[in-house]
Amino acid sequence: MSTAIITEAKIPHYIDGQWVESNAREWSEIVNPATGESLGKVPISDAAEVTKAIDAAAAAYPAWRRTPPEDRIQPLFKLKVLLEDHLDDISRLITQENGKTFTEAKAEMRRAIENVEVACGIPVMMQGYNLEDVARGIDEMMIRQPLGVTAAIVPFNFPGMIAFWFLPYAIATGNTFILKPSERVPLTMRYVYELIEKTGLPKGVVNLVNGGKVAVDTLIDDPRVRAISFVGSTPVARYIYARSGEKGKRAQCQGGAKNPVIVLPDADMQMATQIISDSAFGCAGQRCLAVSVAVTIGEAQKTFRDAIAESAAKLRVGNGLEDGVQMGPVITKQSKERIESLIGVGEKQGAKVLVDGRNPKIPRHERGNFVKPTILDGVPASSELSHTEIFGPVLSMVHANDMDEALAFLERNPYGNQASLFTSSGAAARRFRYEAPAGNIGINIGVAAPMAYFPFSGWKDSFFGIMHGQGRDSVEFYTEKKVVVERWAKEHSRKF
């Protein structure tokens, strides 16, 4: 496969149907995490540039809102085809700026496309409901109307997919939309917006601004922006949710995670090992649904530990564009340092580094941010590390005597993005499904990512808000309910 680097000196914004060069004073380097090479520069915009995007989205809204839903979804059908036709190019870009493997990048884009497909059902999904004769001759109906300008702020770990948890639903329901990608991976959305440009969407309906905190604060503080969607780390999610609340606007803010998996001794160990290895080390552990702490019960402590250690040590790590590579680098040098230092913290807190992925030598990639799969065995269940998000290819192993103890450990986890169980017992599975304190549950599943027609249901510190991303929740989030109670006197109808 070609490993050509796609570079662009300076990333522009897309505002009011035009590519606009930024006049930002501050620019941030976009770096290929596998090679250390520069891929271009992204503007850290000031408030004035972001306000231009809000102006454009606000101006486009009245006509877009009046466009019939059937017509609003036609550009989405075109976008699905364009995304499919350019799947390889987009995926290569994702690998170049994010580091995940080409196969993982393609899988990510399939999830993006799935959301476009689901949003094409808006003419049905957006319907309200009604009842005749709530009192004699009086009818009542609930209709859904769009909000106006909406915005989404997204993280680095899925440069192609996460924007699609929001964009298709926002515009299909009649809103206009502004996206702020992560400043670490702006190239993918730059490319995707070139495809969006070809769909015939009226100017100003979708906009793209690059930047950091100032851009985000501008979106939150402008009263014309009615709804904020955020995905990223918990401290920023909490901040954005609070600031949006102060401004009286609705927000859905997805935060970080520390996803546990319980392995019972009756699990199919071969299957469990393969799936958990993929979950913990796939995308270099930088999936918000990555399993990062395995709680073994009974003899699974030994059987699972031995099998996962063997599997982790075998994974081929390198540049995700090269054939046969199973795991890429982590996003930045700072991430690598943080992950490696947390492995050290684990050691200090009493864990044994069973498989040590620190400071690996990857031939021809000395400047890459590589950490190989790492297993910390015997992490004390009471240690801080057992509940700290590492966001790298590190699996902590904790042991519990029984399911009660394992579930109590999960209760203490501040996050609730996902919890999984591996077992062959239906009764254990049912108990787990019933009691596990997380919003996405996997039973013999390592990455329990909800399909686009189900909500992405984080709990606890993994989510601030009420309506989640994707599917029906998106329709709720992006619309306002209006209830109409109607009476028409009989005499009027007799006139005709």
**Given the rule CB under 6 A, which residues bind ligand NAD?**
153-157, 180, 182-183, 212-213, 216, 231-233, 236, 239, 254-257, 288, 389, 391, 417, 456, 458, 462
Shortest distance (Å) from residue 92 CB to ligand NAD: 21
Which among 219, 105, 96 has a CA at the least distance from the CA of 153? 219
Are 98 and 157 a contacting pair, CB within 8 Å? yes
Between 154 and 385, name the residue whose CB sits nearer to ligand NAD.
Answer: 154
Shortest distance (Å) from residue 460 CB to ligand NAD: 11
Query: Which residue's beta carbon is nearest to the bound ligand NAD?
Result: 232
Number of Cβ atoms within 10 Å of the Cβ of 114 = 18
* Distance separating alpha carbons of residues 258 and 413, to the nearest angstrom: 8
DSSP 8-state code for residue 456: B
* Distance separating alpha carbons of residues 335 and 389, to the nearest angstrom: 12
Residue 288 among the catalytic residues: yes
Residue 18 DSSP SS3: strand
* Distance separating alpha carbons of residues 94 and 464, to the nearest angstrom: 28
Shortest distance (Å) from residue 176 CB to ligand NAD: 20
* Distance separating alpha carbons of residues 176 and 173, to the nearest angstrom: 9
Between 75 and 282, name the residue whose CB sits nearer to ligand NAD.
Answer: 282
List the catalytic residue out of 120, 253, 283, 288.
288
Between 174 and 465, name the residue whose CB sits nearer to ligand NAD.
Answer: 465
Shortest distance (Å) from residue 227 CB to ligand NAD: 16
Are 462 and 415 a contacting pair, CB within 8 Å? yes
Are 402 and 430 a contacting pair, CB within 8 Å? no
* Distance separating alpha carbons of residues 471 and 141, to the nearest angstrom: 23
Which among 324, 312, 318, 396 has a CA at the least distance from the CA of 355? 312
Shortest distance (Å) from residue 309 CB to ligand NAD: 25
Between 273 and 440, name the residue whose CB sits nearer to ligand NAD.
Answer: 440
Which among 482, 489, 483 has a CA at the least distance from the CA of 138? 489
Between 44 and 113, name the residue whose CB sits nearer to ligand NAD.
Answer: 44
Within 13 Å of residue 67, how many CA atoms lie on the same side as its CB? 21
Shortest distance (Å) from residue 182 CB to ligand NAD: 4
* Distance separating alpha carbons of residues 483 and 105, to the nearest angstrom: 44
Which among 27, 139, 37 has a CA at the least distance from the CA of 96? 37
Residue 300 DSSP SS3: helix
Between 139 and 217, name the residue whose CB sits nearer to ligand NAD.
Answer: 217
Beta bridge partners of 251: 228
What is the largest distance, in Å, between two alpha-carbon atoms of the chain? 88
Shortest distance (Å) from residue 158 CB to ligand NAD: 6
Kindly list the catalytic residues. 288
